[in-house]
C-alpha cells in the first residue's frame, strides 16, 4: 500500500511516517496542500492521511475538491478539531474515517487496515486461500495450522496480491506499493521478496508472467 501523509506538524508527521513504514507500507510525507496536489498528480495512492489545518489552506476544501473531481481515494482525517460538528463536516465532505489528535499509533495502523479492506471489497479481516488462513487485521498467516512469520516487506507485498486476486501486477506497480519517493530500490528487490514468499507460503502462491509481472496464484 502507498500512503500520502499531509501533515505540517513535524513531530507528529515523523511519528506517523515511521509507524506506516514499520508496518511495511510505502509513505510519502508533505506539509502543504499544494505539495499534496503535486504528489497526487504524479503518483497513484491507496490512501490519504489528511490534516485539516495546513499552512496553505483547510483540508476540508482539499477533500471536497477531490470528491468533486470523482477521486475516490480513501481518506482518513487526522486533526486536533474534536467537536462533533467538525467530525460531521469531515465525514460529509467524503472522509472515510476520522482520528482526533493525540491518537495511538497502533490505532492508526488498525484504522488504515480497516479502510483498505473496505475499499478492496473484503471488509472481513479473515481470508482463506488454499492451505493459508490469513488474518489481515493481525497481519498473520497460518499454513496448514502453523504460523508463518513474515517480515514487514513480505507482508506488504503479499497484502498487495491479496487485495487484487487474479490481477497481474507489474514490478513497477509492486515497487510503488513498497517504497516512497526517496527510497533506493535494488533492481531485484521484488524478485527476492517473491522468492521468499514462495518458500514460506508455497511455490504456487505467486505466479509469474515472464516479462509482465506477478499475480496471486489460484487457491
- Is pLDDT above 80 for 128? yes
Among 11-20, 119-128, 133-142, 188-197, which stretch is predicted with the lowest mean pLDDT? 119-128
Q: What residue segments make up the domains of the chain, in order of their start?
A: 2-119, 126-216
Question: What average pLDDT does range 176-190 have in this prediction?
Answer: 72
Structural contact between residues 180 and 46, judged by C-beta atoms closer than 8 angstroms: no
Model-level pTM? 0.72
pLDDT of 146 = 94
Question: What average pLDDT does range 84-88 have in this prediction?
Answer: 89
Kind of pairing, strands 213-216 and 206-209?
A: antiparallel
Helix, coil or strand: residue 62: helix
Band (153; pLDDT cuts 50, 70, 90): confident
Question: What average pLDDT does range 15-37 have in this prediction?
Answer: 93
- Is pLDDT above 90 for 77? yes
Task: State the Cα–Cα distance between residues 141 and 119, nearest whole angstrom.
Answer: 21
From the centroid of its chain, how far is CA 153?
Answer: 12
pLDDT of 184 = 66
Band (203; pLDDT cuts 50, 70, 90): very high
Q: Which fold has domain 126-216?
A: Arc Repressor Mutant, subunit A (1.10.10)
pLDDT of 122 = 61
Q: C-alpha distances in angstroms, 135 versus 88, 127, 148, 155? A: 31, 6, 12, 11
- Is pLDDT above 70 for 183? no
pLDDT of 5 = 98
- Is pLDDT above 80 for 58? yes
Structural contact between residues 62 and 69, judged by C-beta atoms closer than 8 angstroms: no
CATH tag, 2-119: 3.40.50.2300
Amino acid at each position: 500500500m502507498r500512503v500520502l501523509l499531509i501533515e505540517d506538524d513535524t513531530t507528529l508527521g515523523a511519528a506517523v511516517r515511521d509507524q506506516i513504514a514499520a508496518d511495511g507500507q510505502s509513505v510519502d510525507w508533505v506539509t502543504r496542500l499544494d505539495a499534496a496536489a503535486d504528489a497526487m498528480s504524479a503518483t497513484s495512492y491507496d490512501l490519504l492521511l489528511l490534516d485539516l489545518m495546513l499552512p496553505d489552506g483547510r483540508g476540508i476544501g482539499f477533500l471536497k475538491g477531490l470528491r468533486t473531481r470523482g477521486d475516490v481515494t480513501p481518506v482518513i482525517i487526522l486533526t486536533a478539531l474534536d467537536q462533533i460538528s467538525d467530525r460531521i463536516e469531515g465525514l460529509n465532505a467524503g472522509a472515510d474515517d476520522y482520528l482526533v489528535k493525540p491518537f495511538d499509533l497502533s490505532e492508526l495502523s488498525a484504522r488504515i487496515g480497516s479502510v483498505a479492506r473496505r475499499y478492496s471489497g473484503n471488509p472481513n479481516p479473515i481470508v482463506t486461500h488454499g492451505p493459508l488462513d490469513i488474518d489481515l487485521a493481525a497481519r498473520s498467516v497460518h499454513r496448514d495450522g502453523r504460523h508463518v512469520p513474515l517480515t514487514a516487506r513480505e507482508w506488504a507485498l503479499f497484502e498487495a496480491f491479496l487485495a487484487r486476486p487474479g490481477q497481474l501486477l507489474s514490478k513497477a506497480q509492486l515497487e510503488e506499493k513498497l517504497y516512497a519517493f526517496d527510497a533506493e530500490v535494488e533492481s531485484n528487490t521484488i524478485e527476492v521478496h517473491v522468492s521468499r514468499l514462495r518458500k514460506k507460503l508455497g511455490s504456487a502462491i505467486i505466479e509469474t508472467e515472464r516479462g509482465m509481472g506477478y499475480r496471486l496464484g489460484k487457491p
